[in-house]
Amino acid sequence: QYIHSRGIVHSDLKPGNILRVGDVWKLADFGIARILNAKTSTRTANINGTFLFIPPEALEGIISPAWDIWSLGILLSRLFTDEHPFCAHNEMQFFEKIQKHDPILPQNTNIIYSFMIKGCLHKSREKRWGIGKLYEYFSVIQDENNKSENLDNFIQKRLVEIEDLKQHDDYHLIIEICDLIIYLSPGCIDAWADKADAYSCLGQTKESMETYRSALQSFAELSNKGELFSAFQVLQSVDNFKINEETEAIEISLPQTISGNRRSLQSIAKIVGKKSKSFRQFIRRRKSLNGN
């Protein structure tokens, strides 16, 4: 962040150029660094830097701060997974992969680390993450077990991102972000509803139904553990059901894409109603307040 604020691109970020001096980590070897002055990018006829850490635009001679972000993404992949996300047998194959292929990460990669790495490795340098967003994710890693206010702020920012992605119909990324939020906060109603809705918009009815099913199961488990919310809220948030005093689900205006599965949805609601004490209390409170 500091060198970029000074208009400097290191362009050779790699493990060998990160040194530990006492208790301080230092970024070393500015031998091929570029100063951009007032520009945000420049061009060069030569490809410098260690080829395993160079971004796709390096082949066009474009140098910008996004170059260092790409290199950081490769470094993070090596740090978190012990693997390079673009494995290749030679330079030619490597250059083809960074231009045309998605990064490959081990299946057991932590979802937060995966987001950070992929955020740094966008093919388009304009879409690559900035340092500020990476700091947000690092802070969540540090606070993951504390469930602090920082986590709440992080989730709210991701929900805002989802609303923006809806305008661009980027439902696949919406699902990925929802999975991240649910990983961090299983009780986030909005994330469950947005994920189910995204599957529905993609025409994947089965996956949408499974999301509702998983949501209700998660809410029932959390409610039984003493969480201060009702499993009924997830039904309320997608506006699919009306609940009578016997806690049975009645269809009111199911979306066409899931109307064929109304029985399974009703069964889920009944199961949650029987298992969750707070669910039944919530129904009684609603009935007493507004007669529904």
Residues 94-149: pLDDT tens digits? 889 999 999 999 888 889 999 999 999 999 999 999 888 998 898 888 765 555 77
Q: Report which of residues 107 and 19 the model is more confident about.
A: 19
Q: Compute the average pLDDT of residues 177-190.
A: 90
pLDDT of residue 146: 56
Please check the confidence at residue 156 and state whether its pLDDT lies above 80. Answer: yes
Q: Which of 6-20, 76-90, 249-263 has the lowest mean pLDDT?
A: 249-263
Q: Cα(91)–Cα(107) distance, rounded to whole angstroms?
A: 26
| 198-211 confidence digits (pLDDT tens) | 988 898 888 887 88
Please check the confidence at residue 229 and state whether its pLDDT lies above 90. Answer: no
| 55-78 confidence digits (pLDDT tens) | 999 888 888 899 999 999 999 999
